[in-house]
Amino acid sequence: MSQRVLTTESGAPVADNQNSATAGAGGPILVQDQHLLEKLARFNRERIPERVVHARGSGAYGYFEVTDDVTGFTRADFLSEVGRRTETFIRFSTVADSLGGADAVRDPRGFALKFYTNEGNYDLVGNNTPVFFIKDPIKFPDFIHSQKRDPFTGRQEPDNVWDFWANSPEATHQITWLMGDRGIPASYRHMHGFGSHTYQWTNAKGEAFFVKYHFKTNQGVRSLSAEQAAEQVGKDANSHQTDLLQAIERGVNPSWTLHVQLMPAAEAADYRFNPFDVTKVWPHADYPLQRVGRLVLDRNPDNVFAEVEQAAFSPNNFVPGIGPSPDKMLQGRLFAYADAQRYRLGINHTQLPVNAPKAADVDNYGRDGLHATRYGSRQDKNYEPNSYAGPAQTGAALGSPLAVHGWTGTHEAPLHAKDDDFFQAGELYRLMSADEKDRLIANIAGGLSQVTRDDVIEKNLAHFHAADADYGKRVEEAVRALRED
């Protein structure tokens, strides 16, 4: 094999990559050493701003295969035929930690999936939990600030974490998930994924359904105890990345079965609780799981920075037949996710290979901006309407319209008959085995007992009491015992 020639960024061959050019053998370095200056300047600019949330992640390519007919519910073309396969890219992540954090920590996990469909990219941006801590996006920056490093101490503070939760009773359901056994997955392969939010499907007749996505792992759910996780972090802080990479390299391709819950749109208004509240689940007894297909991961990225760190997802990347719902948290994310990527990667981040459509053509009037690579032909105009046969609108909406009414202003979500911040947290607790309850109580008490203010502790205890009497009693006793030690 012939030796490849090292070149500069402009393609010129490099004569010496070991020694800088100097004024004489022992003299100072010369500014004319273009290769040195280029290397140092590039090195200084190799990092981009990390994500504020979901900074630490792993990714893989694969495909989604339709196994069941869902054409009665959606006209999305990539779901239109049993056996149809669509290329995908997925990014798993922790939420609160920085890029330099560890994998095996107690934290929700991101489950962001990009479908490269022939009608454009469809992004489904969810978590490994079916619910979330808050229900209104105006609280999201404050929530994340409470979970991140304190501006004075420079570390995550139990006082901040639990003070926010004390004043946000709707978080009780997600806290019960997070502090339970599934709070630390053994690997990305051994956890479920959820769309979490409520979305809309529309069929060819224009009939609308609200939908929730459930990706059930075919590897089985496996989780780590707090003790096992601490040991794992000490051995390999990159344990989840290592596991995913090695599994796919060995040909042990992880897979998930996609099920959905479907609610006819007309039933939403009178459902017993708000179906667009992301702090709640839809009971399967009301809306059973219906199988759709399977997701298989079979290829690792060639370059983690280019394909995982620069991967950009936005829940407003819909395709015909799929659209948003009035879920307020989802509505906030429709703006925030795309805006985050414009900040991190620039206005043309959708032209990066991992983000660009693979099965659909892009044809619009965007031409300029940093890193633009899509120019069009010399005859193409960059405005619309025009008289030069440029791309034009279809007039066909992606989904069905939603009726709205009322006065503008800041409103709490309208209450349904059974809306409550604590009932579903109590139901989740009562579903747990005795051992699961023991570990849940220990995990909550371990964090809550570190809080320095009694009133914050009491507010949180009141939430657990409201969810279930035994739940509250056991947390209270465990916190008291730890604080008396």
Q: Hey, which residues are catalytic here? A: 54, 127
Q: Where are the alpha helices (DSSP H) in 264-307?
A: 304
Question: What DSSP element (H or E) covers 477?
Answer: helix 469-484
| Amino acid code (one letter) for 103 | D
Structure tokens at 354: 């991992």
Cα-based torsion angle of the residue sequence 135, 139, 142, 145 in order, rounded to the nearest 10 degrees: 40
Query: Is residue 212 within 8 Å of residue 261, measured between CB atoms?
Result: yes
CA distances from 285 to 155, 198, 281, 296 (A): 43, 17, 11, 28
In terms of Cβ atoms closer than 10 Å to its own Cβ (0-12, 13-18, 19+), residue 6 is exposed
Query: Is residue 92 within 8 Å of residue 57, measured between CB atoms?
Result: yes
Measured on CA atoms in the order 187, 191, 193, 197, is the torsion positive or negative?
negative
Question: What DSSP element (H or E) covers 162?
Answer: helix 158-166
The residues, any chain, with a CB within 8 Å of residue 213's CB and separated by 6 or more, are 124, 126, 193, 194, 195, 199, 258, 259, 260
Q: Where are the alpha helices (DSSP H) in 236-386?
A: 239-249, 304, 328-345
Provide the 8-state DSSP code for 420: -
∠ CA 134-135-137, nearest 5°, is 90
Query: Is residue 442 within 8 Å of residue 405, measured between CB atoms?
Result: no
